[in-house]
């Protein structure tokens, strides 16, 4: 069975501002192509009509001049050549002007979109901040109620409420993280020297209990060599945890997750291979989109918000790395994280 893949690399694939820039460029190119087509058609029609007029006029003029034995006059071919040169120059100038005008028009076109996106981003950030406090209060109140509750039905209701609060807390945390990653003017996040093997081992150890609860075998094959990178430790830990956790919760019963670490000439590589349900090619095309979930009901049962892979993609782009995914439905998924090797001593 042929594998389906979904690569994700530079930050341009995830940054809304840069996607707007790309949209502006292609809109400009579209306008230029349309205008160029109009100019070409206009030039062809002008040349055809003018050429016919010249043929008729010079035929009579040449006959009269030859009888009076005057000096030769320019031929129709000479005039046609001059006309073509003029059209090329004029149309070239018009094309440059049209390109500049099109770029300005495209900028005006996407200005409302940028304003709407900025307002939406600010709303999500503000709303997420405001939700943290009431969620913390609700969680504390329900935990206190649980300590004194004795009725099994009441305990079950409280546990259900706590699960929903925890799901909402994770969603708020994810939205806040994405909002920070989207901020272009934010100060650079501190980067430190990291022993990648130690960081991956820590993430695997932390998720072993999750794997056991899902009856999944979690195995790590570290590199025999020391691998140093320079990155933000907290962000990279979030990316690793999300990928490994997904491989666990979207796996089959008694499945396995294999985590390996290696290097190539320029990159440190972390590969996570699972024996899970796999992802169909149509779904794989949208797997890094925000709030996109392959199976809505299954994702909700596992507490997924549809933001995990979007966060991983944004983090890897922020760290100067890439994330790619290869999946075969029914056979499992392979996720590869690549990060530049440290050049600092």
Domain boundary among 131, 154, 186: 186
Cα dihedral angle (239, 122, 320, 287), rounded to 10 degrees? Answer: 50
Find the helix packing angle between 76-148 and 16-68, rounded to 10°: 170
Per-residue tokens: 48 = 């055809």
pLDDT of residue 1: 46
181 & 218 share domain: no
Domain boundary among 139, 158, 186: 186
Structural domain contains residue 66:
yes
Confidence band, pLDDT 50/70/90 cuts, at residue 76: low
Structural domain contains residue 237:
yes
Confidence band, pLDDT 50/70/90 cuts, at residue 54: low
Q: Write the secondary structure of the chain as one string of H (helix), E (strand) and C (coil).
A: CCCEEEEECCHHHCCHHHHHHHHHHHHHHHHHHHHHHHHHHHHHHHHHHHHHHHHHHHHHHHHHHHHHCCCCCCCHHHHHHHHHHHHHHHHHHHHHHHHHHHHHHHHHHHHHHHHHHHHHHHHHHHHHHHHHHHHHHHHHHHHHHHHHCCCHHHHHHHHHHHHHHHHHHHHHHHHHHHHHHHCCCCCCCCCEEEEHHHHHHHHHHHHHHHHHHCCCEEEEECCCCCCEEEECHHHHHHHHHHHHHHHHHCCCCCCEEEEEEEECCCEEEEEEEECCCCCCHHHHCCCCCCCCCCCHHHHHHCCCCCCHHHHHHHHHHHCCCEEEEEEECCCEEEEEEEEEECCCC
Per-residue tokens: 58 = 């010079």
pLDDT of residue 256: 92
Beta-bridge mates of residue 219:
258
pTM score, whole prediction: 0.59
Which of 234 and 182 is assigned the larger pLDDT?
234
pLDDT of residue 11: 43
Structural domain contains residue 218:
yes
114 & 243 share domain: no
Beta-bridge mates of residue 340:
267
167 & 240 share domain: no
154 & 231 share domain: no
pLDDT of residue 337: 94
164 & 62 share domain: yes
Q: Name the residue range of residue 128's domain.
A: 1-186
129 & 246 share domain: no
Q: Number of folded domains in the chain? A: 2
173 & 305 share domain: no
27 & 166 share domain: yes
305 & 171 share domain: no
pLDDT of residue 3: 52
Beta-bridge mates of residue 195:
228
Residue 19 has pLDDT above 50, yes or no: yes
What CATH number is attached to the domain comprising 269?
3.30.565.10
Structural domain contains residue 82:
yes
pLDDT of residue 37: 81
Residue 145 has pLDDT above 80, yes or no: yes
Domain boundary among 150, 167, 186: 186
213 & 315 share domain: yes
Structural domain contains residue 345:
no
Distance separating alpha carbons of residues 233 and 248, to the nearest angstrom: 22
41 & 98 share domain: yes
Structural domain contains residue 68:
yes
Burial (CB count within 10 angstroms: exposed 0-12, middle 13-18, buried 19+), residue 74: exposed
Least confident of 257-271, 283-297, 331-345: 283-297
Structural domain contains residue 36:
yes
231 & 163 share domain: no
Confidence band, pLDDT 50/70/90 cuts, at residue 305: low
Structural domain contains residue 311:
yes
């Amino acid at each position: 069975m042929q594998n389906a893949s979904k690569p994700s690399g530079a930050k341009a694939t995830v940054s809304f501002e840069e996607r707007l820039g790309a949209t502006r460029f292609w809109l400009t190119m579209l306008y230029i192509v349309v205008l160029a087509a109009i100019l070409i058609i206009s030039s062809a029609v002008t040349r055809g009509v003018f050429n016919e007029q010249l043929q008729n006029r010079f035929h009579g003029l040449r006959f009269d001049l030859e009888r009076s034995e005057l000096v030769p006059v320019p031929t129709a071919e000479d005039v046609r050549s001059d006309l073509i040169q003029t059209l090329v120059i004029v149309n070239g100038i018009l094309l440059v002007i049209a390109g500049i005008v099109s770029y300005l028009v495209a900028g005006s076109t996407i200005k409302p979109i940028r304003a709407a996106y900025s307002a939406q981003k600010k709303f999500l950030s503000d709303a997420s901040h405001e939700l943290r406090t009431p969620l913390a209060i609700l969680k504390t109140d329900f935990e206190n109620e649980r300590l004194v509750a004795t009725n099994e039905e009441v305990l079950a209701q409280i546990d259900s409420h706590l699960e929903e609060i925890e799901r909402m807390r994770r969603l708020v945390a994810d939205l806040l993280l994405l909002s920070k990653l989207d901020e272009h003017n934010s100060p650079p996040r501190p980067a430190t020297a990291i022993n990648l093997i130690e960081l991956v081992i820590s993430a695997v150890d932390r998720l072993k209990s999750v794997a056991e609860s899902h009856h999944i075998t979690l195995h790590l094959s570290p590199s025999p060599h020391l691998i140093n990178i320079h990155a933000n430790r907290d962000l990279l830990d979030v990316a690793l945890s999300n990928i490994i956790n997904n491989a666990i919760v979207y796996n089959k019963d008694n499945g396995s997750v294999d985590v390996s670490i290696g290097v190539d000439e320029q990159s440190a590589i972390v590969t996570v291979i699972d024996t899970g349900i796999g992802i169909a090619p149509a779904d794989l095309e949208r797997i890094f989109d925000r709030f996109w979930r392959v199976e809505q009901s299954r994702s909700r049962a596992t507490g997924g918000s549809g933001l995990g892979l979007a966060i991983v993609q944004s983090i890897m782009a922020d760290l100067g790395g890439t994330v790619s995914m290869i999946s075969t439905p029914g056979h499992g998924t392979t996720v590869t994280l690549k990060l530049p090797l440290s050049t600092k001593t």
